[in-house]
Amino acid sequence: MPAFAEDIREAVAWLRNLPEVDPSRIVLVGHSVGAGACLFVAANDPTIASVVSLASMADPHAFMAGQLRRSLPGVLTAAALRYMEHTIGHRFTEFAPIHTIGRVHAPILLLHGQQDTTVPIADAYRLRAQRPERTTLVVLPEADHNSVEALQGAKPALLDFLRESVLAAADSGAQVTHAARSGPGSKPGE
């Protein structure tokens, strides 16, 4: 997740330098680990317009521990998790969506498949519970972890979410731009 997050930060910086891109309308969209990375980036960037998270796990530490316990005894699982943190240079708590989602300023749309056996639907409910006031959860009854075609059922909710969040971000950006320009020596309406 932290490596994906670094790639996302670089992509966002690149986009913000393009003259045809409105930097106040950047939406992050990610799937699975990429969704967690998007939440990590948005938690530290209040200018992101919104986040669309598809099948994000809530807690990578718990997820990895569950995977490792299938083949390692508990003591070795704990050691392997500490080694992972050392290798990636971050503690799980720094980038775990269950911790970062509460710091995201932008609206969030969580899309999750009811049939997801890789990342259970319970993770989506846990994430929404951390930030219910600006987080929308859409459960796709027939979708599993990789059901791209099942996203068609979420299209109306996705388009409504993007319209609302991007327009709100653009309005907010316009107010900031106007406020920044209205100072000594500026002309009215600038």
What's the pLDDT tens digit per position in 92-144?
A: 678 889 999 999 999 999 999 999 999 999 999 999 999 999 999 999 999 99
Q: pLDDT higher for 128 or 73?
A: 128
Nearest C-alpha neighbor of 27 from the set 174, 169, 176 = 169
Nearest C-alpha neighbor of 34 from the set 68, 62, 8, 69 = 8
Class of domain 2-59+96-180: alpha beta
Mean pLDDT throughout 45-52? 96
List, edge to edge, every strand of the sheet that includes 27-31: 27-31, 50-54, 108-113, 135-140
Model pTM score: 0.80
pLDDT, tens digit, for every residue of 143-188? 999 987 887 889 999 999 999 998 887 666 544 333 333 333 333 3
The ranges assigned to domains in the chain are: 2-59+96-180
| Predicted pLDDT of residue 187 | 36
Kindly give, in sequence order, each residue whose CB lies less than 8 Å from that of residue 63, ignoring residues fewer than 6 positions away: 57, 119
- DSSP E strands in the chain: the ranges are 27-31, 50-54, 108-113, 135-140
| Predicted pLDDT of residue 65 | 67
**What is the C-alpha separation between 133 and 124, in angstroms, rounded?**
15
Mean pLDDT throughout 47-55? 96
Backbone angles phi, psi at 113, to 5 degrees: -80, 135
